[in-house]
Amino acid sequence: MKTPRIRLTAMAVLLSSMLAAPQLAADETCNSPYLSSLIKGQEDYVHVWTLGVKGVGDESDKLVTVDVNPQSPDYGKVVHVLSVGGRGEAHHGGFSDDRRYLWAGRLDDNKIFVFDIGSNPAAPTLVQTIADFADKTGFVGPHTFYALPGRMLVQGLSNTQDHGGRTGIAVYNNKGEFVAKYDMPTGEHDGVAADGYGYDIGINPQKNALLTSSFTGWNNYMMDFGKLVQDAEAMKRFGSTMVMWDLKAMKPQKVMSVPGSPLEIRWSLKAGDNWALTATALTSQLVLVKQDAAGEWQAKAVAAVGDPAQIPLPVDISITADAKGLWVNTFMDGKTRYFDISNPEAPVQTYEKVIGKQVNMVSQSWDGKRVYFTSSLLANWDKRGADDEQFLKLYHWDGKALTEQFALDFHALGLGRAHHMKFSAKPAPGTARDPGRGVAIAQR
Amino acid sequence: MTSRRCCWSRALLEGALLAVLLLARAVAAEVPTAEVSSAQMPDAEVPFAIHAPLGLPALPLPADNPPTAAKVELGRKLFFDRRLSFNGTMSCAMCHVPEQGFTSNELRTPVGNEGASARRNAPGLLNVAYHPRLFHDGREGALETQVWGPLLAPDEMANPSLGHVLDRLRALPDYAGLFEAAFAGRGASADTVGAALASFQRTLVAGDSRFDRYRYGGARDALSAEERAGLAIFTGKGRCATCHLIGERDALLSDFAYHNTGIGWLRSQEGAGVEVELAPGVRARVSAAVVRSIGAAPRSDLGRFEITRDPRERWAYKTPMLREVAATAPYMHDGSLPTLEAVVEYYDRGGAGAPGQSPLIAPLQLSVAERAAVVAFLKALSGRPGKPASAHQGEGR
């Protein structure tokens, strides 16, 4: 599909303006640096994008809102549930640049739901359903939602052609209208075979750097996990590259060989830093992507996660705001592991704890004192029987140990599989909700 | 979800359709043709000539569903339409991928609705019109009725009912008038959907391989010495042609009978785990206990026995045709053998020694060179290099 010239021009102007973005900042610590606000104090709510499960509650995917402010009488309770109807492999979400809206995707039926979080964080509403992702792009599996000024980047995982791993990045505007698409690179790039696969997006504005990672296509991420590991053909279809893009031009600059399916990308949040970390799911390595002395981006494995021979399956990772620590969850053994990354060239694991029979996502508060965990990886990859625990858990971190504060059993509550988490906060008393809400939150 | 395609793929598709029409005209005088008389047919039903390429007999066509251009085009549209699945994620072409020999090279067995596990490898559709019975177990006898199996199977496209599919088609604006135009005023129905999809699938013919040109075209140099040696083993010492038939005037390369190759029984035996390649050169062992902890228990598969209840047909599956076989990996009814080399090696060692295994399968004592020759011959069953055997290959969605 040709992208209209006028749209490309508009994108170029937009992308150019992004380079003037302020300090790199993230989640809270893993959000887009283009969010207008971060919650640097106590978050009030955690919104959990939850997969519906047959036989559990209404069996539908839903956004579950949990009150997490210890001063609230509803602390540790589900305060709102918003079902969106049916099951489509709910997975990840991301805030719009003004942090008012949460975009959340489904990897199976490709629907993207836009929730209004800003009007009333305690009771989000569904304001738009975008159903043209596959039609407009030929991509399948809207995975990562990454805000740009006035835009949303959406990283696909697969395609409508063969449900394999070749895919690309779509750009929507904040009205939910498709703007442009960019295929992931394929072919030979300076001796590295680009696989065309995608997974996560991470931007370092100061470096004009957009970094992408690579997972696998619909055929694999929808497949029964036990069946998958026994299918040698399917196991060959995992990403083995990371791509550094020229953000301003939206063109691939360098394809780096990173075998074993590199997943979440976490840039160092310190101003001036020029490195990011990722973890490879299959080969259990932490991989550092950093500029060398000549300014060339290089990727190299810097630490093993657990015993790679046991396939602990590193999944989500979360970097601390000071870029000195990294939480790494390993799905198979249900552990979270804390790495000291003061020297990102040589991370050292200093702590580990079993969170449950299985664990996937991890999100921490800006000060790193509160760490949240959820359990679900993918509907057909989660464990079976009694090991299929589904939860949201909050722990306090004192720098030495995690202490559980509450745990919500998503099965017992009739909710489903708990996946991606995003934080929100009530507007500060006496502040206007619109348009200055973001600023008010940021100052809390 | 719609099946709308991007501009380049639409152009490819139109080009491919034009190519098949031109190709058909170009070879019409040279090959047997199954042509339909237009006498007394409605104007809308322009006959569509499907030419059997060199090496294949005339195409068997049902008297009650002669192919027409309108039906073929409608069937093509249905075949690639993801909206035909319950949740809009799957078309027929998602498991029968044109670029992958109308099967899937990336999976042993397909993934269906919401990730459901299908039990058997997606059969390649090239030359499917020649199959007297359909599916690996032969449970269907006509393409017209076969198409409803995947549309309604819970582990495939998962539509809740036949009427649900028809209601959806009747409500889609881009289908308005298409059924009526193709079927003399008849709208979407179980019959017309089946007839359209069957008509399209009958156009998926593949022949005129180097083997065909050697055997039936008088081109003695069409096969290399190794390939000729492979053919000799295929029809002689290897006994492959006992089931993969080669005739005097044409070759269907199948007896369309059901045989217990031992593979079905072998898969029913629980393994002690599996060695997994995590990345090129990086391997690890996953225990059976771990596999059980992350996956559903495998469903049993007794093959033709499930249809006939005849104990002699336990783990028996239909003999596949072999044209374009190099493009249809992985192999066997469960996709368990990844390469042609592995298939030849399996038969060379006499199969799995399974209970009830066909007596036709016994150790062959082939040398390394002989096995390689058979593989070389199998690869010569593909169409002309650079020219897909079916002009429908390469279509996008």
Question: Each residue of B129-188: pLDDT tens digit?
Answer: 999 999 999 999 999 999 999 999 999 999 999 999 999 999 999 999 999 999 999 999
Q: How far apart (Å, rounded) are the C-alpha atoms in residues A110 and B85?
A: 14
Q: What is the pLDDT of residue B218?
A: 96
Q: What is the rounded CA–CA span in Å between residue A209 and residue B191?
A: 56
Question: Residue A392's pLDDT is what?
Answer: 98
How high is the pLDDT of residue B298?
Answer: 85
pLDDT at B355 over 60: yes
Average pLDDT of B378-385? 84
A129 Cβ under 8 Å from any chain B Cβ: no
> Which B positions 133-172 lie with beta carbon below 8 A of chain A?
none
Q: Is the pLDDT of residue B396 over 90?
A: no
How far is residue A337 CA from its own chain's centroid?
18
Q: What is the mean pLDDT for each group of 10 consecutive residues in chain A (444 residues)?
A: 47 52 54 90 97 97 98 98 97 97 98 97 98 98 98 98 97 98 97 97 96 98 96 96 97 98 95 95 98 97 97 97 97 98 98 98 97 98 97 98 98 98 86 40 32
CA distance A394 to A423: 13
List the one residue out of B386, B64, B91 whose CA is nearest residue B210: B386
pLDDT value at position A14? 55
Q: What is the ipTM of this complex?
A: 0.88
CA distance, residue B106 to nearest chain A CA (Å): 5
Residue bearing tokens 């008393």: A429
Q: Where are the alpha helices (DSSP H) in B186-326?
A: 190-202, 210-215, 225-235, 263-268, 288-294, 305-308
Whether the CB-CB separation of A326 and A317 falls below 8 Å is answered with: yes
| Best CA proximity match to B316, nearest among B330, B302, B328, B329 | B302
- The pLDDT value recorded for residue B301 is 95
Of B325, B328, B319, nearest to B98 by C-alpha is B328
State yes or no: pLDDT of B40 exceeds 50. no
**Locus of tokens 């072919």:** A187
- Has this prediction a pTM greater than 0.95? no
A88 contacts B284? CB cut-off 8 A = no
pLDDT for B273 equals 87
Q: In this predicted model, what pLDDT tens digit does every residue of B268-323 receive, in sequence order?
A: 886 778 999 999 999 999 999 999 999 998 889 999 999 999 999 999 999 999 99
Strand order in the sheet with A417-424: A77-83, A62-67, A45-51, A417-424
- In B241-315, the DSSP E strands lie at 258-260, 273-279, 282-287
Please tell me the distance from the alpha carbon of residue A396 to that of residue A403, in angstroms, as a whole number.
5
Percent of chain B exceeding pLDDT 70 equals: 85
Above 50 in pLDDT, residue B235?
yes
A160 and B97 within 8 Å at the Cβ level: the answer is no
Read off the pLDDT of residues A324-364 as tens digits, 9 standing for 90 and up: 999 999 999 999 999 999 999 999 999 999 999 999 999 99
Closest CA to A305 of A363, A262, A274: A262
Beta-carbon separation of A235 and B278 below 8 A: yes
Q: Residue B112 above 90 pLDDT?
A: yes
Chain A contact present for B219, CB below 8 A: no
Question: What are the beta bridge partners of residue A180?
Answer: A171
Residues 6+ apart with CB under 8 A from B346: B263, B337, B352
Do residues B353 and B391 make contact, with C-beta atoms less than 8 angstroms apart? no
Q: What integer pLDDT is reported at residue B186 of this predicted model?
A: 96
Alpha-carbon Rg for chain A in angstroms: 20
Distance (Å) from the C-alpha of residue A260 to the closest C-alpha of chain B? Answer: 5
Q: Which residue of B has its CA nearest to A52?
A: B114
DSSP-derived pairing of the beta strands A77-83 and B50-51: unpaired
The C-alpha of B74 sits at a distance from chain A's nearest C-alpha, in angstroms, of 19
Cα(A105)–Cα(B239) distance, integer angstroms? 54
Number of neighbouring beta carbons within 10 Å of residue A208: 17
Q: How buried is residue B299: exposed, middle or buried, by Cβ count under 10 Å (0-12/13-18/19+)?
A: exposed
The residue in chain A having the minimum alpha-carbon distance to the alpha carbon of residue B104 is A162
- Report the pLDDT value the prediction gives residue B269, as an integer from 0 to 100: 83
**Spatial CA neighbour of A169 closest among A193, A205, A194, A145:** A145
| Distance in angstroms (rounded) separating the CA atoms of residues A420 and A316 | 10
Q: Which CA distances in Å does A118 have to A112, A145, A220, A368? A: 18, 17, 36, 24
Classify strands A125-130 and A112-116 as parallel, antiparallel or unpaired. Answer: antiparallel
For residue A54, the model assigns a pLDDT of: 96
Which of A231, A287, A305, A376 should one mutate to test binding to chain B, selecting the residue with the greatest count of B CBs within 10 A?
A231
How confident is the model at residue B1, as a pLDDT? 32
Q: pLDDT per residue over B182-207, tens digit each?
A: 999 999 999 999 999 999 999 999 99
Task: Return the H-helix or E-strand segment holding A298.
Answer: strand A297-304
Tell if the CB–CB gap between B89 and A218 is shorter than 8 Å. yes
Question: Do B100 and A230 make contact, defined as CB atoms within 8 angstroms?
Answer: no
Average of per-residue pLDDT values in chain B: 87
For residue B99, what is the DSSP state? G
CB A24 within 8 A of CB A205: yes
Mean pLDDT of B18-41: 36
Q: Answer yes or no: do A240 and B279 touch at CB < 8 A.
A: yes
CA distance A442 to B44: 67
Instruction: With CB atoms and an 8 Å threshold, state whether A311 touches B282.
Output: no
Interface test with A, best of B111, B113, B274, B397 (most A CBs within 10 A): B111
